[in-house]
Chains A and B, each alone.
Chain A
Amino acid sequence: DAKTTQPPSMDCAEGRAANLPCNHSTISGNEYVYWYRQIHSQGPQYIIHGLKNNETNEMASLIITEDRKSSTLILPHATLRDTAVYYCIVRGYNNNDMRFGAGTRLTVKP
């Protein structure tokens, strides 16, 4: 699976949009981009995933660049409960060896 690079930490003001970047320049055509988050001491939680089109669900939006070498997770109206470590993972559609990196620690401030 392609390697991902994320900033180690970010801050966001409560009520504002949080934009979390991820670089995956070696991604191949059949690899998906997944986002998970881990709130302190809990198991990771699925957020969203996509292949090449932008995706939106009740939690977030995923914007993937046209060349697929990077993506951005957007939390449209961040709340204090969104404070967590966010993991960007690239994984082949049929590859079950999902590996997490260090992620981005997002802190939402009042």
Chain B
Amino acid sequence: NAGVTQTPKFQVLKTGQSMTLQCAQDMNHEYMSWYRQDPGMGLRLIHYSVGAGITDQGEVPNGYNVSRSTTEDFPLRLLSAAPSQTSVYFCASSPTPPRGARGNTIYFGEGSWLTVV
């Protein structure tokens, strides 16, 4: 059971370039989300999805696009990267409605380190 898988783990971009961070989960979770974490700070929610075809904005959505064409995948797109988007990005998933003893707990990927120069 792979859980939540993020790729790539490390990426360096030039300002203005575009890229997609991939996220996949094999737990049949309906809910998926993306967070960013800047040095010394907590996680901030970028976008989330409660099911295929449904997405919504979190705290810091500007500069990012998402789509949810399948239950398993939730890619995060940076259309024109900026140095302010240098951060560690975490993808997460959760069952919705809650299933099992852990209810609405959220499972995180290992993170993607992005540097924009």
Contact = CB atoms under 8 A, between A and B. Distances in A.
Contacts of A101: 42
B73 interface: no
A98 to B, nearest CB: 6
A98 B45 contact: yes
Given A46-B107, A49-B105, A98-B106, A93 B98 contact: yes
Contacts of A99: 44-45, 58-59
B25 to A, nearest CB: 12
B90 A43 contact: yes
A102 B41 contact: yes
Interface in A1-43: 32, 34, 36, 41-43
A102 B43 CA distance: 8
Contacts, number: 64
B108 interface: yes
Interface centre among A49, A94, A96, A101, by most chain B C-beta atoms within 10 angstroms, is A96
B97 interface: yes
Q: How large is the interface on B (under 10, 10 to 19, 20 to 34, 35 or more residues)?
A: 20 to 34
Q: How large is the interface on A (under 10, 10 to 19, 20 to 34, 35 or more residues)?
A: 20 to 34
A53 to B, nearest CB: 14
A47 B58 CA distance: 23
Contacts of B42: 85, 87, 100-103
Interface string B18-42: 0000000000000101010000011
B83 interface: no
B105 A43 contact: no
B108 A45 contact: yes
A98 B93 CA distance: 11
7 contacts: A32-B103, A44-B108, A96-B94, A96-B104, A99-B45, A99-B58, A99-B59
Interface of A: 32, 34, 36, 41-46, 49, 85, 87, 91, 93-94, 96-103
